[in-house]
Amino acid sequence: MIKLFKRLTKKEILMILLSTCLVAFQVFLELKIPEYMSDITKLLQTKGTTTADIFNPGSKMIGLSLVSLLASVTVGFLAARVAASFTASLRRDIFNRVMDYSQAEIQQFSIPSLLTRTTNDVTQMQIIIALGLQVTTKGPIMAIWAVTKIIGKSTEWMLATVVAVFVLILMLLALITLAFPKQSLIQQLTDKLNGLTREKLMGLRVVRAYNAQTYENKKFEKANDNVTRTNIFVSSIMSLMQPVMTLISSGLTLAVYFIGARLINDAAMPDKVTIFSDMVVFSSYAMQVVIGFMLMTIVFMILPRVLVSAKRINAVLELSSSIQYPTHSKETNGQVGDIVFRDVSFKYSPEAEPVIEHISFSAKAGETVAFIGSTGSGKSTLVNLIPRFYDVTSGAIEIDGVDIREYSRNDLYQKVGYIPQKAVLFSGTINQNLDFGSSQETPLSQEAMWEALELTQSKHFVEEKENALFASVSQGGTNFSGGQRQRLAIARALARKPEILIFDDSFSALDYKTDRMLRETLAKQTASMTKLIVAQRISTIMDADQIIVLDKGQVVGKGTHEELLQSNEVYQEIAYSQLSKEELAHGK
């Protein structure tokens, strides 16, 4: 947690110092009030005392209370501002760090866990700061200052106060011992619950289609019950604090008055008034001591969970991406759009089996290279290495004669246009999705957008929308069909005018007619771009300049459609399972 607090700005530190000074001033005012109570007690025991005599110390008590209230409100305001400001910057730092992560780091934490750390864990930090500035600072100041006020008043009264504080500390230690381990478990169970919720919401249609609501409800209820039971256990322990604190404070008051009654009874008549006055004042100060420790106890109620949250947040902030980019790119030799794979191998972790092994091929500018193979053969993994979603385990990938690891992030991504297997659209408008991120032409002109839409056979359905380019896009693009989303995702990549286009099975959501028309248009209009296509359909890749056949992560065939159809068994098996010999022979 100390590591996180090192991120406080100078302005926030100044506000904390000001808040601490105001808390000390507030405690001073509250500890001054019992002195006037003592004066009033003595006046009430003095003959000839008038209302005016009592009004003077009484009005001072009211004035001090009002000033104390004002100081308390100011402290609350400063605490809220510091907590909000700090957690806003902390949330931003977490988000920026996650945005720099490669897929390996994201998979290490999991998306539900990262969401919990960005929201729930950061909220815990906000609570501890807001409460801490009001309670943590006030508790020790009040307890210590109040003790200095009562030292030397009465040994018996002091002994009663020490016993009360000792019982409070024992209770606090017991609570921390029982609650602390469960607080860590709560965060882990919350991650799991978030993961299940996200999974069910994303697969809602599948759940309904298979009539699996009851099964999924039971899984959710089990996870929800685990969180609930753990929270109830911790809350039950914490709920003991209030009655125990009330018992301690009431018991201390009773003890002070019981001891005071004995002292008054044994004292001489002239001393009885003085002892009674001291008893009233001591009782007030003793209660301030107990209140001080009670305030500190409130912080310890939430501290275990905050410590767990701080540890989880630090884990995100301290983990750097395994993929690092140089500040400046290495100069190219004038080539544009050339790609070379040199004996590339990749595995997801050092202990795992290689996903692809010893892949070598080259693609010249303007060529179309296609990848085909059975599910799990490594097609998508291979093309995901080009934009450095992962780094190669061995070998090298070169673009325009330069290793991709020697490009800056911006330069690499400006060269590559990527269309994922599952089209991703962001909430906003169509033009905002097309003009997404930065490219060689930023912002894009409407002419460039319409050109990209026409290339992808999207112009007609965009024109039919109200507001056309400015038509709204819901989150995930759910107000468009699967094929429309796919074409808009392709249009977004084309609008950037990159050197290299990567289609990661991006034609799968398109019907055969649209697929064919789109490929013919792309072949004519993007002749200068290098195109890498991952596909399951033979019809999608038949016209490629080079087809690479993958099986179990290795290249088992390389050539044109005609060459592979004659000589490669794996390609023949895939081709004949989809099209007849006549269709394959005529290239249909």
Q: What pLDDT score does 36 carry? A: 76
437 Rama class: left (phi>0) / alpha (psi -120 to 50) / beta: left
Question: Does the residue 331 lie in any domain?
Answer: no
Looking at the structure, tell me whether residues 349 and 285 fall in a common domain: no
What is the CATH classification number for the domain harbouring 23? 1.20.1560.10
Q: What pLDDT score does 270 carry? A: 66
Cis peptide before 443 (omega within 30 of 0): yes
CB 284 within 8 A of CB 37: yes
Q: Three-class SS of residue 441?
A: coil
Reply yes or no on whether the pLDDT at 152 is more than 80.
Answer: no
The greatest distance separating any two alpha carbons of the chain, rounded to the nearest whole angstrom, comes to 124
Task: Grade residue 577 by pLDDT with cuts at 50, 70 and 90.
Answer: confident
Looking at the structure, tell me whether residues 37 and 151 fall in a common domain: yes
Evaluate the CA torsion angle 220, 222, 223, 229 in order and state its sign.
Answer: positive
Q: What pLDDT score does 346 carry? A: 93
Looking at the structure, tell me whether residues 294 and 369 fall in a common domain: no
CB 505 within 8 A of CB 380: yes
Q: 159: which 2 tokens?
A: 């002994």
CA distance 143 to 156: 19
The total number of structural domains in the chain stands at 2
CA distance 528 to 518: 16
Question: Does the residue 158 lie in any domain?
Answer: yes
Task: Grade residue 170 by pLDDT with cuts at 50, 70 and 90.
Answer: confident
Phi, psi of 209 (to 5 degrees): -65, -30
**Tokens 């008893």 — which residue?**
279
Q: What pLDDT score does 211 carry? A: 87
Reply yes or no on whether the pLDDT at 295 is more than 80.
Answer: no
CB 368 within 8 A of CB 507: no
Write down the mean pLDDT value for the chain: 84
Q: Three-class SS of residue 539?
A: helix
Evaluate the CA torsion angle 73, 78, 84, 90 in order and state its sign.
Answer: negative
Looking at the structure, tell me whether residues 29 and 154 fall in a common domain: yes
Question: Does the residue 263 lie in any domain?
Answer: yes
Looking at the structure, tell me whether residues 298 and 405 fall in a common domain: no
Tell me: the pLDDT tens digits for 357-413? 999 999 998 899 999 988 888 888 999 999 998 899 999 999 998 999 999 988 888
Q: 186: which 2 tokens?
A: 């709560």
Tell me the one-letter amino acid at 91.
R
Looking at the structure, tell me whether residues 186 and 39 fall in a common domain: yes
Task: Grade residue 442 by pLDDT with cuts at 50, 70 and 90.
Answer: low
CA distance 316 to 330: 31
Question: Does the residue 330 lie in any domain?
Answer: no
Q: What pLDDT score does 585 carry? A: 63
Looking at the structure, tell me whether residues 255 and 355 fall in a common domain: no
Percent of the chain predicted with pLDDT > 70 = 95
What is the CATH classification number for the domain harbouring 536? 3.40.50.300
Looking at the structure, tell me whether residues 166 and 209 fall in a common domain: yes
The DSSP result for 472-501, as a single string, is: EE-GGGTTS-HHHHHHHHHHHHHHT--SEE
Neighbours of 126 (CB within 10 A): 20
Reply yes or no on whether the pLDDT at 86 is more than 90.
Answer: yes
**Tokens 């990848």 — which residue?**
371
* Of 96, 103, 502, 504, nearest in space to 323 by CA: 103
Reply yes or no on whether the pLDDT at 588 is more than 60.
Answer: no
Range of the domain at 192: 2-318
Looking at the structure, tell me whether residues 346 and 257 fall in a common domain: no
Looking at the structure, tell me whether residues 287 and 425 fall in a common domain: no
Q: What count of residues does the chain have? A: 588
Q: 378: which 2 tokens?
A: 């490594």
Looking at the structure, tell me whether residues 281 and 349 fall in a common domain: no
Q: Are strands 554-559 and 546-551 parallel, antiparallel or unpaired?
A: antiparallel
Q: Three-class SS of residue 341?
A: strand
Question: Does the residue 441 lie in any domain?
Answer: yes
Tell me the one-letter amino acid at 415.
K
Question: Does the residue 360 lie in any domain?
Answer: yes
HSE on the CB side for 439, CA within 13 Å? 22
Q: What is the mean pLDDT of residues 547-552?
A: 91
Looking at the structure, tell me whether residues 296 and 359 fall in a common domain: no
Question: Does the residue 290 lie in any domain?
Answer: yes
Question: Does the residue 505 lie in any domain?
Answer: yes
Tell me: the pLDDT tens digits for 195-240? 888 888 878 888 888 888 888 888 889 989 998 988 888 777 777 7
Q: Burial level of 173, CB count in 10 A (0-12/13-18/19+)?
A: exposed
Q: Collect all residues with Cβ–Cβ distance below 8 Å to 114 and sequence separation of at least 6.
A: 98, 106, 316
Tell me the one-letter amino acid at 259.
I
Reply yes or no on whether the pLDDT at 348 is more than 80.
Answer: yes
Q: What pLDDT score does 140 carry? A: 78
pLDDT top residue among 454 and 280? 454
